[in-house]
Amino acid sequence: MVRIGIVGGSGYAGIELMRLLSVHPDAELAAVTSRSEAGRPVTEVLPALRGLVDHSFREPDPGMLGDCDVVFFATPNGTAMGMARELLERGTRLIDIGADFRLRDVAAWERWYGMRHACPELAGEAVYGLPEINRAAIREARIVANPGCYPTAILLGWLPLIEAGVIDTGYLVADAISGTSGAGRGAKVASLFSEVNESFKAYGGTAHRHHPEIRQVLDASAGGPVGLVFVPHLAPMTRGMHASLYGRLSDPGANPQELFERRYRAEPFVDVLPAGSHPETRTVRGNNYCRIAVHRAPDPDSVVVLSVIDNLTKGAAGQAIQNMNIMFGLDETAGLDSPGLVP
Whether 149 is catalytic is: yes
Write the CA distances from 314 to 54, 88, 151, 290, integer angstroms.
26, 26, 11, 7
Tell me how far, at minimum, the Cβ of 59 lies from its own copies, in Å: 20
Contact between 289 and 343 under an 8 Å Cβ cutoff? The reply is no
Tell me how far, at minimum, the Cβ of 153 lies from its own copies, in Å: 12
Contacts of residue 57, defined as CB under 8 A and 6 or more positions apart, other chains included, come to 9, 10, 32, 33, 34, 37, 38, 39, 40, 41, 42, 45
Contacts of residue 321, defined as CB under 8 A and 6 or more positions apart, other chains included, come to 17, 20, 21, 24, 27, 288, 335, 336
Closer residue to its own copies in complex, CB, 115/202 = 202
Closer residue to its own copies in complex, CB, 87/336 = 336
Q: Positive or negative, the Cα torsion across 50, 56, 57, 60?
A: negative
Closer residue to its own copies in complex, CB, 142/295 = 295
CA atoms within 13 A on the CB side of 113: 24
Tell me how far, at minimum, the Cβ of 290 lies from its own copies, in Å: 12
Tell me how far, at minimum, the Cβ of 178 lies from its own copies, in Å: 9
Tell me how far, at minimum, the Cβ of 196 lies from its own copies, in Å: 4
DSSP string, 172-191: EEEEEEE-GGGG-SS--GGG
Q: Which is catalytic among the residues 68, 119, 149, 290? A: 149
Q: At what angle do helices 131-140 and 318-327 cross, to 10 degrees?
A: 50
> How far apart, in whole angstroms, are the C-alpha atoms of residue 149 and residue 208?
12
Closer residue to its own copies in complex, CB, 32/143 = 32
Closer residue to its own copies in complex, CB, 47/224 = 47
Active site residues: 149
